[in-house]
Amino acid sequence: MDYQRKIAHHVASIPRSGIRDFFELVQGRDDVISLGVGEPDFVTPWHIREAAIYSLEKGQTSYTSNLGLLSLRKSISRYVENFFHVGYDPAREILVTVGVSEAIDIALRALLNPGDEVIFHEPCYVSYSPSIVMAHGVAVPVVTTQEEEFSLKPEKLAAAITPKSRVVFINFPTNPTGACASREDLEGIAKLAIEHDLIVMTDEIYSELRYDQEQPHVSIAALPGMKERTILLHGFSKAFAMTGFRLGYACAPQPIIEAMMKIHQYAMLCAPIMSQNAAIEALEHGQPSVVAMRDSYHERRDFLVKRLNEIGLSCHMPGGAFYVFPDVRATGLSSKEFAMRLLEEENVACVPGSAFGPSGEGFLRCCYATAFEDIRKATEKIECFVNRLR
Ligand code: PLP
């Protein structure tokens, strides 16, 4: 059978994730030091795992409400109010999802009619452009540069807006660059969203991982006039080291949550109950663990950025997440050649910047959610590799 003809055109047109391609090469190799996977190296804190186990012990193995356990939504509401300074009604304005991944998918499917444009800043997380296409939208990337510290400048956003624009999709701190937007940039983005009547989707999955305490995280949802047009996406994977629990949430005005819920109830029904119980424990008692993990990432970030710059790979100091994004153009290699040869010759895995959109070309994503000793060894190996290229 000619299966290509059986697959929907818009799905066939989507490329496979560049990260996945690269990690298929890594698999099966021994002694690789990986700065590749965007996942905490910490195991989920014990008290959170215990809450999941206890949930099973008590025999809580059923479906929950489609929106998620009300007790969890109440915890989310309190947490979001404290942390983001914006209030959401747990009964109507919060939907618990299977990771932020699901929340992105159903938000886009709920909002877009075929041909609607979604503007996002690039380099960006690998799922954004495919998720837009799968929702029959048109992906409109706005290139951000190292000189702009990879923030989205309002004037660039303004230039990308057309009569078909429907959504602006932002992610600060950013995967893969670690970029953080200033309040001023967020205010400029908010002003444009209001002027052009756009919905803003904001993926704030790395918001707890901000390292410059004098510049605390600001959510665009909390800016004047923005709650009514913002979908705030957040989850437990990164700050609480809970990737395998597959839990996230969306906070938004009730009609948007209702539309997303319709898709969620048919596609997913609900998020797993044991993960939801664990998430309540994370929100209620997890802050000390979050702070300890953040402090550890902070130390690793400072070390890695300093070493990469010493090695001659120009690297801006990212304000958040757990990625650095050094410039490898001076070596004369493309980002893919650099990453492949680093893997072949030094057994160090980093992701080519081009996996995060064409504007990531010339850069490398290094994830420092890896043991400090491995980061130290990796930088020695990167130094040997770069010296050999000279
Ligand atoms: N959004 C961003 C920016 C990410 O980096 C990731 C995972 O790497 C996700 C969403 C997916 O998160 P989740 O595990 O909650 O599905």
Tens digits of per-residue pLDDT, 31-89? 899 998 888 999 999 999 999 999 999 999 999 999 999 999 999 999 999 999 999 99
Which pLDDT belongs to residue 23? 78
- pLDDT, tens digit, 9 for 90 and up, residues 327-346: 999 999 999 999 999 999 99
Return the best residue to mutate from 23, 169, 175, 268 for the ligand 1 pocket (most ligand atoms within 8 A of CB). Answer: 175
Q: At what angle do helices 18-26 and 335-346 cross, to 10 degrees?
A: 20
**C-alpha 98 – ligand 1 centre gap (Å):** 11
**Local structure of 105: helix, strand or coil:** helix
204 lines ligand 1 (CB under 6 A): no
Strands 248-251 and 94-97: antiparallel
What confidence category does residue 231 fall into, taking pLDDT thresholds of 50, 70 and 90?
A: very high
Is residue 28 scored above 80 in pLDDT? no
Q: Is there a single domain that holds both residue 192 and residue 275? A: yes
Stretch 153-158: mean pLDDT: 98
Atom of ligand 1 nearest to the CA of 98: 16
Please check whether residue 51 lies inside any domain of the structure.
no
Judge if 146 and 17 occupy the same domain. no
Q: Could you report the per-residue pLDDT of 344-353, keeping only the tens digit for each? A: 999 999 999 9
**Phi, psi (degrees; rounded to nearest 5) at 115:** 90, -10
pLDDT grade for 140, boundaries at 50, 70 and 90: very high
State which of 237, 249, 275 you would mutate to test the pocket of ligand 1, scoring each by most atoms of that ligand within 8 A of its C-beta. 237
Residue 98 included in any domain: yes
Same domain flag for 355 and 266: no
Strands 348-349 and 351-352: unpaired
Instruction: Give 177 Cα–ligand 1 centroid separation in angstroms.
Output: 14
Question: Any idea which of 5-9, 24-28, 299-303 has the lowest mean pLDDT?
Answer: 24-28
User: Of residues 386 and 216, which shows the higher confidence score?
Assistant: 386
Of 192, 208, 211, residue with least CA distance to 200: 192
Provide the CATH number for the domain around residue 29. Answer: 3.90.1150.10
Average pLDDT over residues 245-258: 98
Peptide bond before residue 123 is cis, with ω within 30 degrees of 0? yes
Q: Phi, psi (5° rounding) for residue 384?
A: -60, -45
Residue 167 covered by a domain = yes
State yes or no: pLDDT of 20 exceeds 80: no
Work out the end-to-end distance of the chain between its first and last CA atoms, rounded to an integer number of angstroms: 52
Asked if residue 250 and residue 110 are part of one domain, the reply reads: yes
Shared domain for 276 and 148, answered yes or no, is yes
| Choice from 101, 246, 249 to test ligand 1 binding pocket (greatest atom count within 8 A of CB) | 101
Whether residues 199 and 125 share a domain: the answer is yes
| pTM above threshold 0.75 | yes
Instruction: From 285, 309, 339, give the residue that closes a domain.
Output: 285
90 and 205 inside one domain: yes
Q: Which amino acid is at 346?
A: E
pLDDT for position 127: 96
Q: Ligand 1 centroid vs 203 CA: distance in angstroms?
A: 8
Tokens 């990469």 — which residue?
A: 308
Does residue 271 carry a pLDDT above 90? yes
Identify whether 49 is part of a domain. no
Give the pLDDT score at 24: 79
pLDDT at residue 25, rounded to an integer:
77
pLDDT, mean over the chain:
95
The answer, yes or no, to whether any atom of ligand 1 lies below 6 A from the CB of 202, is no
Residue 25 falls within a domain, yes or no? yes
Query: Bridge-partner residues for 119, per DSSP?
Result: 140, 168
172 in Cβ contact with 212 (< 8 Å): no
Task: Please indicate, yes or no, if residue 55 is contained in any of the structural domains.
Answer: no
Q: Chain centroid to CA 63: how far?
A: 27
Mean pLDDT for 179-185 is: 96
Task: Identify the pLDDT of residue 327.
Answer: 97
Same domain, 82 and 213: yes
Label residue 313 by pLDDT band (50, 70, 90).
very high
- In 3D space, the residue among 22, 230, 13 whose CA is nearest the CA of residue 111 turns out to be 230
Specify whether the CB–CB gap between 250 and 95 falls below 8 A. yes
pLDDT of residue 68: 98
- Whether the predicted pLDDT of 227 surpasses 80: yes
Q: What is the mean pLDDT of residues 155-181?
A: 98
209-218 average pLDDT score: 88
In the chain, the number of structural domains is: 2
Residue 52 vs residues 44, 97, 114: alpha-carbon distances, Å: 11, 17, 41
The pLDDT, as a whole number, for residue 390 is 81
Give the three-state DSSP class for 50: helix
Predicted confidence (pLDDT) per residue in 82-110, tens digit: 999 999 999 999 999 999 999 999 999 99
CB 252 within 8 A of CB 265: no
Q: Do 245 and 310 fall within a single domain?
A: no
CATH of the domain at 81: 3.40.640.10
Q: Quote the domain boundaries for residue 278.
A: 61-285
Under DSSP, the state recorded for 360 is G
Q: Check pocket membership of 125 for ligand 1, CB cut-off 6 A.
A: yes
Number of helices (H), then strands (E), belonging to the chain: the values are: 14, 12
> Token match 């012990």: residue?
57
Contact 52, 275 (CB under 8 A): yes
Q: Backbone phi, then psi, for 367, in 5-degree steps? A: -95, 125
Nearest CA to ligand 1 atom 7: 38
For residue 161, the model assigns a pLDDT of 98
382 in any annotated domain = yes
Task: Select from 285, 319, 335 the last residue of a domain.
Answer: 285
pLDDT at 22 > cutoff 80: no
* Residue 206: closest CA among 168, 180, 229: 180
Pair 336, 257 in one domain: no
Residue 315 three-state SS: coil
| Region 116-123 average pLDDT | 98
In a shared domain, residues 297 and 202 = no
More confident residue, 219 or 10: 219
What angle, rounded to 10 degrees, do the helices at 70-84 and 273-285 form?
40
Residue 36: its pLDDT value, please? 84
Distance CA(298)–CA(180), nearest Å, equals: 15
